[in-house]
Structure 1
Amino acid sequence: MSMSPGRLFADEFHDEFGMWMLGYTPFGGGDWGEVATVAAAVGDGDDGAFFDAWMAAGDQVRADAEAAAAAGRAGASDLYLRASAFYASSYHPLYGTPVDPRLLEGFRRQIDAFDTGLALRGVLPASVTVDDAHVPVYLIPAFGHETEVRPLLILVNGYDATVTDSYFASAVAALRRGYHCLLFDGPGQGAVLYEQGVPMRPDWEVVVSAVIDHALTSPLVDPDRIAVSGWSLGGYLAPRAASGDSRIAACIADPGQQDLGAGLSVFARRLGATEEEASDLSALDEETVQRIMGVIEQDRKMRWSIIQRGFWVNGVTDFKSFLERTAEYRIDRVDEIRCPVLLTHAENDALAAGVPAFAEALRDATVLRFTAAEGAGGHCEMMNRSLLNRRVLDWLDDTFART
């Protein structure tokens, strides 16, 4: 087994997913040594070996959690949540339809561990109905402020993260800072996609408005200090929500995205579409579509991103339908976003390309830039979430103090 410097997993595709956990380490996720042990267990194995290794690691941490709970130790909750992160790491390569039963097994163990960990803190999941979707919602009180009225941070996932990811990537830092946090997986995410088969929708203001309605039934939530923060595709979903709900007092988009279709046009040109073809993706002829699909099929990462994940999340079965669906993800009512907005811009994150133009269109925008030299130049600053969270929460503290 050979491995380039900076990689733990022999397979580059596995390494990208496997290294997610290291972004969670400062917030209670797995440590370097644990991830390295999983990587060694996977070796040169396939997606099944990747799944099995992470599941075995999750089972070990879960056993530690159960022993701690039986002994009445205070750390039992953290261990259950940690086990949830291991299970959540197991199934990403298995994305797609028909849904792999191993994905459902991993996800169900993940959520069982997550729910058990939070229940030990007195947090139980609720359910919010959004049209035909039953959205799981977790309202977690700020650490040390469990009975106080505090500002609320609503966390929005993207294409393939779930509540466990948003807990470790963002919530722990915010809970330590004194923010109550609300976590949920909406249409096209987590249980709503995996178990209910409900695809993503572009009008995310409908989803977040229902979530806010639920949050305001809690006496702990300050109705004048509600923030929404989205990462990855959530960098579109969060500001889209802010464009349709004036109760949102601050918005964070990591990275900010106004029009997903514009990014796809760039992608299509890179794969061989002409300037004219890329300007109207809905008019692509079949020959061009097949040429682009041929390129996608030959690249494992693109195949996973577009065919396995993109088709499934959007509820489509062909590339043209995927393009048409993605083109619906745009924020036309930018002037309706009246709250302050923070846009992140990591230098090597392709999704951040439209941040400057988006910031220019907003009435009150701040751009936070992150660099590779800081260890934060990649997508969603994944390898330095500590830096990202510190700067974002500083901005949010200042914004709420000002307003």
Structure 2
Amino acid sequence: MTILFHDPLLDELGVWPLAYAPYGGCDFGELRAIATTVGDGGADAFYAAFAAMADGLAADAAAAEKAGHTASARELHLRAAVYYASSFHPLYGTPVDPRLVDAFDKQSAEFGAAMALLDPAGTAVQIPYDDTSLPGYLIPAPGSAGERRPLVVFTNGYDATITDMYFASAVAAGRRGYHCLLFDGPGQGEMLIHRQLPMRTDWEHVITPVVDWALGHDLVDPDAIVLSGWSLGGYLAPRGASGEHRLAAVVADPGQWDVGATMTLMATSMGVAPRAAANPSTIDQKTIDAMMAAITANPRLDWSIVKRGFWVNGVDNLADFLAATLRYSLDGVGSHISCPVLVTTAEDDFLSRGAQRFVDELGDRVTLLDFTAAQGAGMHCEMLNRSLLNRRALDWLDDTLQRA
């Protein structure tokens, strides 16, 4: 059953901003107007409708700023950023669609304009990383006036942008008094779209320089740095914590101990023998072709695996994609996590089905939160009741840091 958009995939992507409504990122009427404009159209209509709404809000933001209406300008810049960020999700894939790049850049510009109008202002940062840097924003808690406080480092997964992460998590954390650091890692946002750096599974290699940078900032309490990840970040965050032991806590929403096991299950459901599924290079080409035919015939699978998964992982064929996913595992390293871990699981989210593995492996270091359809939070990342997730996660974090 769809919520607003006629097409099931476009509805799944298009209702993301509803998660941000409690935090000022969306109004239902705007989203319904966009869906009405899209009607029975496809990805092109989806992009055009979201971009048109964003263009209008961006123009209003500029006018409000010129007139000295700072609060309105900030809200409008942020709302425009959300709709630009939403517009290009169906366009994922290679070769990269120039409309995607344009919308991403406009989203980044609108978000940056809004950050400059916060009080205190959010600051664009570049975090040294290998021979390049990771772009991000340090966003002080409202009213903190230069105070040293706990810092939550938020990490995305496959799909989202810094704008998404801001509304999904950082606004709520800031209201609780936490400073927030948002960044793009390899395979995410600017690092993928402009620098062509694919995702890497050893996220500890990414998080350690981020923590190094944070420890050099006067606003950050060095004993209270938290790492929180959503979607694929529910694997990346604990993977980062497995090799970075200066963290006070980690949040995985949802907890994903072994992402590769999910892809292996998909392969076996398509008739691949378990031994071959565990070693994709041994799958014969006829079987690969049959799997690809089934995937491309399913719009949801085609988008998530071929368009999104291939691009993010820097591969161009199914066998290499399956091999890449097998490396997304905490086996052999997860036991090295030394800080408290909050893990979520949602009733209707198959990606969270392995969350219990964290409890089995890490024992009382883990707190498991269950979310249900009856709460309106049974979907991936609790997207239709994100405020419930934030309340429960931040309560846990408040208690955990007080005990430390």
Partner of 1:349: 349
Letter in 1 for 2:109: D
Residue aligned with 2:218, SS: coil
Structure 2 gaps, min length 5: none
Asked whether 1:81 is paired with 2:82, we answer no
Partner of 1:382: 383
Letter in 2 for 1:351: L
Provide Cα deviations, 1:95-138, integer angstroms capped at 9, x if missing partner.
Answer: 00110000001000000000111012332311123224431121
Aligned pairs for 1:179-194 (under 5 A) are 179-194=178-193
Give TM-score, length-normalised by structure 2: 0.96
Partner of 2:15: 19
Question: 2:159, 2:16 → 1: CA distance?
Answer: 12
Letter in 1 for 2:185: G
- Larger deviation: 263-272 or 339-348? 263-272
Aligned pairs for 1:2-401 (under 5 A) are 7-75=3-71, 76-121=73-118, 122-331=121-330, 332-363=332-363, 364-401=365-402
Question: 1:9, 1:94 → 2: CA distance?
Answer: 17
Q: Could you tell me how far 1:395 is from its partner in structure 2?
A: 0.3
Question: 1:78, 1:153 → 2: CA distance?
Answer: 23
Provide Cα deviations, 1:332-386, integer angstroms capped at 9, x if missing partner.
Answer: 2122100000000001111111111222101400100000000000000000000
Question: 2:214, 2:66 → 1: CA distance?
Answer: 33
Provide Cα deviations, 1:148-167, integer angstroms capped at 9, x if missing partner.
Answer: 11100000100010100000
Residue aligned with 2:79, SS: helix
Alignment check: 8 A CA contact 1:133 1:196 kept = no
Letter in 1 for 2:393: V
Letter in 2 for 1:233: L
Instruction: Name the CA shift for 1:350/1:132 in 2 (closer, same or farther; >3 Å).
Output: farther
Residue aligned with 2:345, SS: strand
Residue aligned with 2:4, SS: coil
Provide Cα deviations, 1:179-200, integer angstroms capped at 9, x if missing partner.
Answer: 0000001100001000110000
Structure 1 gaps, min length 5: none
Alignment check: 8 A CA contact 1:139 1:215 kept = no
Question: 1:133, 1:301 → 2: CA distance?
Answer: 34
Question: 2:251, 2:82 → 1: CA distance?
Answer: 24
Question: 2:132, 2:15 → 1: CA distance?
Answer: 31
Question: 2:74, 2:132 → 1: CA distance?
Answer: 29
Q: Could you tell me how far 1:211 is from its partner in structure 2?
A: 1.2
Letter in 1 for 2:359: A
Provide Cα deviations, 1:8-60, integer angstroms capped at 9, x if missing partner.
Answer: 11211111111001010001111111000001111122211111110110011
Question: 1:315, 1:130 → 2: CA distance?
Answer: 19
Q: CA RMSD in A?
A: 1.2
Letter in 1 for 2:361: A
Question: 2:217, 2:92 → 1: CA distance?
Answer: 36
Residue aligned with 1:383, SS: coil
Letter in 2 for 1:257: Q
Question: 1:207, 1:277 → 2: CA distance?
Answer: 31
Letter in 2 for 1:369: D
Question: 1:282, 1:263 → 2: CA distance?
Answer: 18
Letter in 1 for 2:51: M
Residue aligned with 2:127, SS: strand
Alignment check: 8 A CA contact 1:133 1:198 kept = no
Question: 1:213, 1:68 → 2: CA distance?
Answer: 39
Report sequence identity in percent. 53
Letter in 2 for 1:64: D
Question: 1:85, 1:48 → 2: CA distance?
Answer: 18
Question: 2:65, 2:146 → 1: CA distance?
Answer: 24
Letter in 1 for 2:104: F
Letter in 2 for 1:91: F
Alignment check: 8 A CA contact 2:70 2:117 kept = no
Question: 1:278, 1:315 → 2: CA distance?
Answer: 20
Paired residues, number: 399
Residue aligned with 1:89, SS: helix
Question: 1:263, 1:190 → 2: CA distance?
Answer: 24
Provide Cα deviations, 1:218-251, integer angstroms capped at 9, x if missing partner.
Answer: 1110000010000010000000010011111100
Question: 1:247, 1:188 → 2: CA distance?
Answer: 24
Alignment check: 8 A CA contact 1:151 1:179 kept = yes
Letter in 1 for 2:383: M
